[in-house]
Amino acid sequence: MKIATWNINGVKARIDNLLHWLSESSPDIACLQEIKSVDELFPREAIEALGYNVETHGQKGFNGVAILSKLPFDEVNRRLPGDDSDEQARFIEGVFSTDKGVLRVVSLYLPNGNPVDTEKFPYKLGWMERLERWSAERLKLEEPLVLAGDYNVIPEPEDAKNPDAWVGDALFRPESRQAFRRLGALGFTDALRAVNDQAGVYTFWDYQGGSWQKNNGIRIDHLMLSPEAADHLGSVTVEKHTRGWEKPSDHVPVVVDLKLNPA
């Protein structure tokens, strides 16, 4: 079963690329971030025509997450618990049936956190604390769980072409990286690093400064696997070629293949 994450950076602006990628890569479950669309205006019909069920948690103009699935949804949960005042659309969980039992998949869009001397950085860290608490509770279910999304965290220096350029940035601040490592300490596995320890693997290239042409990238899109999901880990692929398409997102899809089948 192929499960993918992709920050699409505006689903309406990238709909042709999205449809082409869904046809080409054919993930069983695709987690999208930064759809920048309210739920009722999400272009679901064209996606459903490819055989996908669509669930969204949208917001006008920015943020927004979605899960597209060839499997029927057994359950859908929107919003990360823990802060009733948080109205930003950054979290959606889908529950599915497989031949090994329940599978839970989350599409998440973690806050950027910049500038760090504003309220945005404490919001980022608070969001990560809420994610950690929620994840710890979900792990008690002992089910395959995939936390897929744009974490806006560069975990290690080898995850950036030029790590010195990111010192002090919210994506690379020690507090952000420590919060990401705490997910690992709970028992989650960074899927890509489980199969590939090489430097130079990136998922984001800025539109400015010729970053794509210079391969000046960073790795901030991650699939974190619960122990029960990691037990079924096959391969992980970064579909870098999509960054070279016309009108690309600044992120590329990351796809994990789990040895699970629909029920």
Instruction: Give the active site residues.
Output: 109, 150
Q: Which of 135, 167, 168, 172 is nearest to 155 (CA)?
A: 172
Cα 162 to Cα 143: distance, rounded to the nearest angstrom: 38
Strand arrangement, sheet containing 145-150: 75-78, 91-98, 101-109, 145-150, 221-225, 189-190
In this structure, the dihedral spanned by the alpha carbons of residues 7, 153, 176 and 86, taken in order and rounded to 10 degrees, is 0
What DSSP letter does each residue of 67-111 carry, written as one string?
A: EEESSPPSEEEES-TT-TT-----EEEEEEEETTEEEEEEEEE--
